Chains A and B, each alone.
Chain A
Amino acid sequence: MEKFTTLDAIAAPLLRINVDTDAIIPSREMKRVSKLGLSEGLFAGWRYTAPGSREENPDFILNQPPFRDAKILLSGQNFGCGSSREHAVWALAEWGIRCIIAPSFGAIFQGNCVRNGILPVVFDETLVDSLASQVRADPANNLIKVDLVRRIVTAPDGQEHGFEISDGDREMLLEGLDAIALTLRHKQEIQAFRDADRGRRPWVYLD
């Protein structure tokens, strides 16, 4: 997984609330058995002019020149709610998004972000709105800086805003760590748990 330390990038304001994972990637765009190529289906319902077509809708923000290169997304509350599909995060990651700033996130989506090198930052609505209007004033030059080491986002106006992230998630992103390897460090505890549990609840085990 790609490590995340700092970012200095164009941000795209997509200030809708409750952007669900069906909107991020519709199910019809998910019939792949690998992660590659999913970005083609990113926001397909909004990004293209007609159902099934690949003709871009010029009104959609990610189709507009400076925002095409955005690595940061600004959005409304409950971003990524709905379906658990990790395809939503894979599509965003492949497209180039590394950080999403919103007042709140769908829980499964938020976890999926961290596991795929995307940093979810929670800021209140007023702050997200303020970042969005600063960015809009000059999208190509008013970049947002994200520093995961210091847990700080620097707005285009130079103001610094601290954000919260658990140490575990931060480490996973900073080191590009992998949860399977982390968990397998506890192999012995897992084995001991299972042996004891088998005595308590033999009916759960079917082998």
Chain B
Amino acid sequence: MTAKSLFEKVWQDHVVVPETDDTPAVLYIDLHLIHEVTTPQAFNVLRERGIRVRRPDLTLATMDHSTPTVPVTSLKDLDVVAEGSAARQIRQMIENCREFGIELHGFDRDTRGIVHVIGPELGATQPGKTIVCGDSHSSTHGAFGALAFGIGSTEVGHVLATQCLLQRRPRTLAVNINGQLAAGVTAKDIILALIAKIGVDGGTGHVIEYRGSTVAALDMEQRMTICNMSIEAGARAGMMAPDETTVEYLRGRPMAPQGADWDAAVKRWLALPSDPGASFDREVSLDASALEPMITFGTNPGMAIPVTAAIPERYSGPSFRKAMEYMQVEAGKPMLGKPVDLVFIGSCTNSRITDLRQVASVLRGRKVADNVKMLIVPGSQAIKQQAESEGLDEVFRAAGADWRESGCSMCLGMNGDTVPAGQLCVSTSNRNFEGRQGIGARTVLASPLTAAAAAVSGSIADPRTLETRQ
């Protein structure tokens, strides 16, 4: 038997009709995650044709993208706190789920949260599954050894109608990450360093498999942070081999298999990692022991440097100059010490409990600087509860930060949480595109530790210079 990669195994397990030169493969989808922004038009397609949702049981629905992060307990509240058009989108979602028989993790549920946070949290995300969502950060779920990727709304309609997708088989890229991380360096720094190295289109057309000793040593939350940003390297998906860490994370979760099914599932999951000698279309390596905390300085995630470094002069061309002008930064100068207006902790990249604990370790006994506003938005209602049971919310409030309900919030600025024009925001999210967090917003991407360090310092700071407090 030829050695197969993790990707090849999952792909082959789901081919309903193989691809030919003329036609893409028909690929079976195990889990379809849906949210309010990219689905209304898809449900309309079903209505127009009079078809039902093929597998409501394999469809998981939540509200996150345009939902308010101030408390909403009834639909009446919604009209008070949300803009009219956002409220309409949310109501439409409730209506669509009701009409098509899909369980919605809505305002009345403490399981609500960002779609890529609740999938794993509920145990719906599992190794070997094919998972799709009308959101490009679906790659997050690849941390479990699932093949997970983002799709457009027409494809959302396609999956709702058929539980399948038409797909061309992507190429594979192995990213070998070895070495021990230094103190203060986290998964976010790994992925920013990788994108800086291979470029924002370095993974185009490929599914990445992250491997090596560094990856094996990470917990599931850190693994998700890395897979989450695969799309920022242009990749179709990112995957990691399931192992004992994966199994332990899933054990006992509400939607994880139980009893005899659990044993059979675990056996199958642990056979998924790439066989020794499996080949990849491309390979790159990263020495994790040499990494430092990373920050971005430009308007795409590949424009990232170690926090202590100067902005390189090697960039040229009009696009680069535009980015530098927009960000009001200069080549040859460091980002360190640049005054900050806002700090946002949140998004499907870094809003999980371990992220919040790291933020608390910096904020404990310190104050958010006078010139800074800090917003902390947990990834899900469950994380919110967990953080509150650990007293993290008090640490945040005592430091002067704003502690919110879960949602995408300032990651994409669709729910009213936006960065005012011209302001500099250090954000733990995943995109620093022009205007992403608000018109004229200047976004600097960083890890939770680096973002928290900026909040208490009032300017971009090296988290390694601040003692953390547990």
Q: Interface on A for B, CB 8 Å cutoff? A: 16-18, 20, 22-23, 26-28, 30-35, 45, 51-52, 76-78, 81-87, 89-90, 104, 106-108, 111-112, 115-116, 166-168, 171, 179-180, 182-184, 186, 189-190, 193-194, 197, 201-207
Contacts and interface: CB of A to CB of B under 8 A. Distances in A.
Contacts of A166: 22, 24, 168
A118 B168 CA distance: 19
Contact of A168 (B23, B55, B157, B268): B23
A192 B57 CA distance: 18
Contact of B134 (A27, A32, A84, A201): A84
B26 interface: yes
A145 to B, nearest CB: 26
B155 interface: yes
B221 interface: no
A186 B16 contact: yes
B433 A23 contact: yes
B154 A86 contact: yes
10 contacts: A22-B431, A27-B65, A27-B436, A78-B200, A82-B431, A83-B412, A84-B150, A86-B134, A108-B152, A168-B22
A183 B164 CA distance: 8
Given A78-B201, A84-B151, A108 B136 contact: yes
Contacts of A179: 154-155, 158, 166
A139 B400 CA distance: 56
A72 B239 CA distance: 37
Contact of B41 (A20, A26, A35, A193): A35
Given A27-B37, A107-B205, A167-B23, 15 more contacts: A17-B319, A18-B200, A23-B434, A27-B65, A83-B412, A86-B38, A86-B153, A108-B152, A179-B158, A190-B26, A190-B163, A201-B265, A202-B264, A204-B129, A205-B57
Given A167-B22, A183-B158, A193-B28, A32 B85 contact: yes
B201 A104 contact: yes
B57 A206 contact: yes
B168 A84 contact: no
A90 to B, nearest CB: 8
B142 interface: no
Interface string B315-353: 001110010000000000000000000000000000000
B135 A84 contact: yes
A189 B200 contact: no
A46 B166 CA distance: 35
A20 to B, nearest CB: 5
A203 B257 contact: yes
B245 interface: no
A205 to B, nearest CB: 7
Contacts of A27: 37, 65, 412-414, 436
B281 interface: no
Contacts of A34: 40-41, 44
Contacts of B243: none
Nearest to B128: A201
A83 B37 CA distance: 12
A34 B261 CA distance: 42
A18 B319 contact: yes
A97 B17 CA distance: 33
Contacts of B436: 22, 26-27
B161 A180 contact: yes
Contacts of A17: 317, 319
Interface string B195-208: 00000110011000
A206 B41 contact: no
B435 interface: yes
Contact of A116 (B86, B151, B154): B154
Interface string B237-273: 0000000000000000001010001101100100000
A1 to B, nearest CB: 9
B58 interface: yes
Contacts of A108: 136, 150-152
B66 A31 contact: yes
A51 B438 CA distance: 9
